[in-house]
């Protein structure tokens, strides 16, 4: 039977080479009973349209413009969609995949974070879509914990991720 990795499993994998997660802000705060909290590095506004087609050669990723944090490392977001980058770099072995979800505190503020599956074998810094539904705005601070990533052990090794985002930071 394959499992969701526990706090102890995640901790052990963080301390091997390569580490499951690196560039974390505060290991004690971020390590959770059945996951790991990822923290905010950057928030960008979406500046151009994008395109997904049958062939990846026709893919056009939307242009981004990083937002500027104030002197207290906060940024105020009006209702809308933003691309966020995490501080952490994730190095998934070929027998572990992951999924992430927003922390419940964000949901209680009218904000969500959408993310794709983290394929086994993926190595790099992830990005996600933060959507502010709150019509009165939302303030977020750099290095705040915004999503929890949960790791799943596969029944066996797979070929591993080998896409365009491998190794991106």
pLDDT tens per residue across span 132-145: 999 999 999 999 99
Between 3 and 136, the higher pLDDT residue: 136
Is 119 part of any domain?
A: yes
User: What pLDDT is recorded for position 169?
Assistant: 63
pTM comes to: 0.93
The CATH number linked to 29 is 2.70.40.10
pLDDT beyond 60 at 1: no
Is 131 part of any domain?
A: yes
Is 1 part of any domain?
A: no
Instruction: Round to whole Å and give the CA distance between 23 and 122.
Output: 16
User: What pLDDT is recorded for position 87?
Assistant: 98
Task: State percent of the chain over pLDDT 90.
Answer: 85
Instruction: Round to whole Å and give the CA distance between 108 and 11.
Output: 29
* Mean pLDDT score across all residues of the chain: 94
Task: State percent of the chain over pLDDT 70.
Answer: 96
Is 135 part of any domain?
A: yes
Is 90 part of any domain?
A: yes
Q: Which domain holds residue 73?
A: 7-48+62-153
Is 37 part of any domain?
A: yes
The dihedral sign for the CA sequence 11, 155, 37, 87: positive
Band (pLDDT 50/70/90 cuts) for residue 113 is very high
Mean predicted confidence (pLDDT) in 72-99: 97
Is 167 part of any domain?
A: no
pLDDT tens per residue across span 32-71: 999 999 999 999 999 999 999 998 889 999 999 999 999 9
Asked if 154 contacts 122 with a C-beta cutoff of 8 angstroms, the reply is no
Q: Which helix (H) or strand (E) holds 75?
A: strand 74-77
User: What pLDDT is recorded for position 166?
Assistant: 72
Give the count of domains, the chain: 1
Is 84 part of any domain?
A: yes
């Amino acid at each position: 039977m394959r499992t969701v990795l526990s706090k102890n499993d995640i901790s052990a994998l963080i301390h091997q080479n390569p580490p499951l997660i690196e560039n974390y802000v505060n290991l004690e705060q971020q390590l959770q009973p059945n996951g790991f909290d990822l923290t905010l590095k950057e928030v960008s506004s979406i500046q151009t349209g994008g395109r997904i087609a049958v062939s990846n050669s026709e893919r056009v990723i939307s242009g981004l413009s990083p937002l500027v944090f104030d002197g207290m490392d906060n940024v105020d977001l009006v209702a809308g969609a933003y691309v966020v980058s995490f501080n952490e770099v994730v190095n998934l072995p070929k027998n572990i995949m992951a999924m992430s979800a927003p922390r419940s505190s964000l949901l209680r503020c009218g904000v969500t974070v959408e993310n794709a599956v983290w394929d086994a074998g993926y190595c790099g810094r992830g990005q996600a879509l933060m959507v502010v539904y709150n019509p009165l705005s939302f303030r977020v601070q750099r290095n705040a914990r915004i999503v929890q990533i949960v790791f799943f052990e596969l029944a066996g090794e797979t070929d591993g991720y080998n896409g365009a985002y491998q190794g991106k930071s």
